């Protein structure tokens, strides 16, 4: 048998080339996520339950990337996470949350807390605006009182078609934070908030849809309710769906892709994970708009240990990227990225974007609480094929978990671990994007496609790798 050589990021370096770049700010990181969707930085947060829910996805979009909401939620819960992202950064919220005047203060508080918002529009049975209730109105109010007794009745509004500058003037003039948009008959058509206007100005590089809302993706499985889940996620505003399966080069994945594309032909669809050129080609022919590459390369993935299967990540990306280029389909490198240098190598090898998990798992924006061990702070990070995730997934799908279940029936391909607490994801993304921008300049490139054209890899020995690390010094 002839053995093919497989390489990963630590096996190679990019050969420096002449550069006319005088500042890394001259580089452009805009890239394709999928066939018809572009983002402004090449980073995607992983669809894992310890990485991406609405807070992470919203932050990723504001930074110029995108987050993929994990699927280990009920359909309603996952759709609600998508809605939260869409509402978090839109200049005008098209369907603002509202309440009727005969509801109680207690009901309004519960509703606002559930939706994680600070105010509700009060509308009558004809959808006419009659008031607004905010935290200030509800503070210290008798919870048994009706909303009509505590709401602000004289509401400052604007007509449909008001410009952003006009909205700012109205908000400032009346010292208010929320501006309902109504038509000539007084029917509510939207809501503009000062926070959304500020976000729009503070994050000019944000990834947005055609309506100015943050981009967000969501994952679906290959069994059971995937069509129903897809429909709910798309209705909630998901810009892209990800068919999430450990072994993407399988009939389960192919048939799911075909079924989703048949039911929702206009949706952007990503599928994976695969690790070979043939796997990429088969998914592309099934109808995907991007292919996710990586089997066994993630920090908490033990697929290679348990199954003996996998391809070193750099080789996998390069093989799949050749096929992706032939078909005009972007490749996402998923797994094995520990540094901005790894991300740069993945992009130079042909990936359009890089999916990151463990690097973001210990941040404020990732789900979960901070743990303290030996005086240091950590967050839990686990593979979606780990034992706990597998059991949790079954309980979500069936609603119960039997005490009679044989744990030997679960063959885990991931582990649970703790990652150090890292603060905000914004700082990590700044370091990652800064490193990639510098990487482009070393390749003499202004853009990611230009780097892919210019890139020249060189293999290095163990001694070369050791030489690449800090050495002969005592680190502080």
Check whether 295 is labelled as a binding-site residue.
yes
Architecture of domain 9-88+213-366+424-468: Alpha-Beta Barrel (3.20)
Residue 304: helix, strand or coil by DSSP? Answer: helix
The residue among 398 and 168 whose pLDDT is bigger is: 168
Q: What is the mean pLDDT of residues 345-370?
A: 93
**What are the beta bridge partners of residue 132?**
121, 152
Q: Which of 161-165, 202-206, 267-271 has the lowest mean pLDDT?
A: 161-165
Question: What mean pLDDT is predicted for residues 281-298?
Answer: 95
336 is known to lie in a ligand binding site: yes
Bridge partners of residue 199, in order along the sequence: none
Q: Is residue 395 scored above 70 in pLDDT?
A: no
- Whether 320 sits among the annotated catalytic residues: the reply is no
Residue 119 assigned ligand-binding role: no
Q: Is 423 annotated as a binding residue?
A: no
Strands (E) located in 5-51: 12-14, 31-34, 37-39, 43-45
Sign of CA dihedral 182, 187, 189, 193: positive
**Statement: residue 449 has pLDDT above 90:** yes
Cα angle 106-107-110, degrees, rounded to a multiple of 5: 85
Nearest to 188, CA basis, from 75, 100, 118, 267: 100
Residues 6+ apart with CB under 8 A from 48: 70, 357, 361, 381, 382, 383, 384
Q: Is 18 annotated as a binding residue?
A: no
78 in Cβ contact with 68 (< 8 Å): no
% of residues, the chain, pLDDT over 90 = 63
pLDDT at res. 338: 94
Token digits for 164? Answer: 């952003």
Q: Is 357 annotated as a binding residue?
A: yes
Q: For the domain covering 98-202, report its CATH number.
A: 3.10.580.10
- The CA distance from 363 to 320, in Å, is 31
Sequence-ordered alpha helix ranges (H) in 54-211: 54-63, 75-89, 105-115, 135-138, 147-150, 164-174, 194-202
Q: What is the per-residue pLDDT for 136?
A: 86
Mean pLDDT of 259-267: 98
Residue 100 half-sphere exposure, CB side, CA atoms within 13 Å?
Answer: 6
Q: Which two tokens stand for residue 385?
A: 């094929």
Domains 9-88+213-366+424-468 and 98-202 share a fold: no
Instruction: Confirm or deny that 335 is annotated as ligand binding.
Output: yes
What are the tens digits of pLDDT across the range 307-319?
Answer: 889 999 999 999 9
Is 169 marked within a binding site? no
Return the pLDDT at 403: 46
pLDDT for 388: 54
Provide the whole-model pTM: 0.85
Q: Are 118 and 133 in contact (CB under 8 A)?
A: no
Instruction: Please state which of the ranges 24-28, 298-302, 449-453 shows the lowest mean pLDDT.
Output: 298-302
CA distance 293 to 316: 7
pLDDT in the model for residue 389:
54
pLDDT digits (tens, 9 = 90+) for 416-443: 778 889 899 999 999 999 999 999 999 9
pLDDT at 377 over 80: yes
Of 48, 15, 64, 34, the C-alpha closest to 380 is 48
pLDDT at 301: 83
Structure tokens at 251: 């009939």
Report the chain's mean pLDDT, rounded to a whole number. 90
Q: Whole-angstrom Cα distance, residue 374 to residue 70?
A: 31
% of the chain beyond a pLDDT of 70? 93
To the question of whether residue 231 is assigned a binding role by annotation, the answer is no
Q: Is 298 part of any known ligand binding site?
A: yes
First-to-last C-alpha distance (Å) of the chain: 49
Give yes or no for a contact between 298 and 275, defined as CB atoms under 8 angstroms apart.
no
Domain boundaries defined on the chain: 9-88+213-366+424-468, 98-202
The reply to whether 434 sits in an annotated binding site is no
Query: Does residue 442 have a known ligand-binding role?
Result: no
* Predicted pLDDT of residue 387: 47
Catalytic residue among 267, 301, 320, 443: 301
Is 123 annotated as contributing to ligand binding? no
Residue 419 phi/psi, 5-degree rounding, is -115, 145
> Strands 240-244, 217-220: parallel, antiparallel or unpaired by DSSP?
parallel
Q: Is residue 369 over pLDDT 90?
A: no
Model confidence at 407: pLDDT above 50: no
């Amino acid at each position: 048998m002839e053995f093919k050589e497989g390489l990963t990021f630590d096996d190679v370096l990019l050969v420096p080339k002449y550069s006319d770049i005088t500042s890394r700010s001259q580089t452009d990181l805009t890239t394709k996520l999928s066939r018809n969707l572009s983002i402004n930085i090449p980073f995607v947060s992983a669809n894992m339950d310890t990485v991406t829910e609405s807070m992470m996805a919203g932050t990723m979009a504001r930074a110029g990337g995108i987050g993929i909401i994990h699927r280990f939620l009920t359909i309603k819960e996952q759709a609600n996470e998508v809605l939260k992202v869409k509402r978090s950064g839109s200049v005008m919220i098209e369907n603002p949350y509202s309440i009727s005047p005969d509801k109680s203060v207690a009901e309004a508080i519960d509703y606002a807390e559930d939706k994680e918002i600070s105010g509700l529009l009060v509308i009558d049975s004809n959808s006419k605006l009659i008031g607004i209730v905010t935290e200030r109105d509800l503070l210290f109010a008798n919870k048994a009182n009706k909303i009509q007794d505590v709401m602000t009745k004289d509401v400052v509004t604007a007509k449909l078609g008001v410009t952003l500058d006009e909205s700012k003037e109205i908000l400032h003039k009346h010292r208010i934070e929320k501006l309902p948009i109504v038509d000539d008959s007084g029917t509510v058509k939207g809501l503009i908030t000062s926070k959304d206007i500020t976000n729009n100005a503070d994050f000019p590089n944000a990834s947005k849809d055609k309506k100015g809302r943050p981009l967000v993706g969501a994952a679906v499985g290959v069994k059971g309710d995937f069509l129903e889940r897809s429909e709910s996620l798309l209705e909630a505003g998901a810009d892209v769906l990800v068919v999430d399966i450990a072994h993407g080069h399988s009939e389960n994945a192919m048939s799911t892709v075909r079924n989703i594309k048949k039911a929702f032909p206009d949706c952007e669809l990503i599928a994976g994970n695969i690790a070979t050129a043939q796997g990429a080609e088969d998914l592309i022919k099934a109808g995907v708009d991007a292919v996710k590459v990586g089997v066994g390369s993630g920090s908490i993935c033990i697929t290679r240990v348990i199954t003996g299967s996998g391809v070193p990540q750099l080789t996998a990306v390069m093989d799949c990227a050749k096929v992706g280029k032939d078909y005009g389909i972007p490749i996402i490198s998923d797994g094995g990225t520990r540094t901005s240098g790894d991300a740069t190598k993945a992009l130079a090898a042909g990936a359009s974007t890089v999916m990151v998990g463990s690097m973001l798992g210990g941040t404020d924006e990732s789900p979960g609480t901070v743990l303290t061990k030996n005086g240091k702070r950590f967050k839990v990070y686990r593979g979606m094929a780990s034992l706990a995730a597998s059991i949790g997934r079954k309980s979500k799908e069936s609603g119960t978990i039997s005490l009679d279940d044989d744990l030997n029936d679960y063959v885990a391909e991931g582990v649970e671990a703790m990652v150090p607490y890292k603060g905000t994801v914004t700082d990590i993304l700044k370091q990652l994007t800064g490193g990639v921008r510098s990487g482009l300049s070393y390749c003499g490139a202004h853009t990611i496609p230009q780097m892919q054209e210019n890139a020249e890899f060189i293999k290095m020995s163990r001694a070369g790798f050791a030489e690449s690390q800090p050495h002969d010094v005592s680190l502080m």
